[in-house]
Amino acid sequence: MSQFAGCLFTAALALAFAEPVLSGRAIWLAAVAGAGNALGITSLYRALATDKMGIGAPVAAVITAVLPVVVGIVEQGWPSAWKLAGFALAVVGIWLLAKPQAGSGISRGLRDAVLAGIGFSSFLVLIRSAGPANQVLWALAVARFTPAAIIFVIGVVRRAQWSGAKPAARLIILAGVLDSSGGLLFSLAAHYVRLDVATVLSSLYPASTVILARIVLKERLSRAQTAGMLAALAAVPLIAA
Per residue in 71-115, pLDDT tens?
777 877 777 788 778 777 877 776 676 555 544 445 567 788 888
**pLDDT of res. 131:** 75
Ranges of each domain in the chain:
2-240
Mean pLDDT to the nearest integer, 143-161: 85
Mean pLDDT to the nearest integer, 151-178: 84
Mean pLDDT to the nearest integer, 42-48: 82
Mean pLDDT to the nearest integer, 140-153: 88
CA distance 57 to 180: 18
Of the pLDDT bands very low, low, confident and very high (cuts 50, 70, 90), residue 12 is: very high
Of the pLDDT bands very low, low, confident and very high (cuts 50, 70, 90), residue 122 is: confident
Cβ-contact 240, 70 below 8 angstroms: no
Angle, vertex CA 62, rays to CA 41 and CA 8, nearest 5: 30
146 or 213, which is more confident: 146
DSSP at 164: G
Q: State which amino acid sits at residue 141.
A: A
Q: Does residue 235 have a pLDDT over 50?
A: yes
What is the DSSP secondary-structure string of 189-231? HHTTS-HHHHHHHHTTHHHHHHHHHHHHS-----HHHHHHHHH
Of the pLDDT bands very low, low, confident and very high (cuts 50, 70, 90), residue 147 is: confident
SS3 of 122-150: the string is HHHHHHHCCCCHHHHHHHHHHHHHHHHHH
Task: Specify the range with the lowest mean pLDDT, choosing from 1-5, 20-24, 216-220.
Answer: 216-220
**pLDDT of res. 95:** 67
112 or 236, which is more confident: 112
CA distance 139 to 33: 9
User: HSE on the CB side for 172, CA within 13 Å?
Assistant: 14
SS3 of 45-60: the string is HHHHHHCCHHHHHHHH
99 or 165, which is more confident: 165
Of the pLDDT bands very low, low, confident and very high (cuts 50, 70, 90), residue 241 is: low
Contacts 24+ apart (CB under 8 A), 163-166: 165/1
Cβ-contact 41, 154 below 8 angstroms: no
Mean pLDDT of the chain: 79
Of the pLDDT bands very low, low, confident and very high (cuts 50, 70, 90), residue 53 is: low
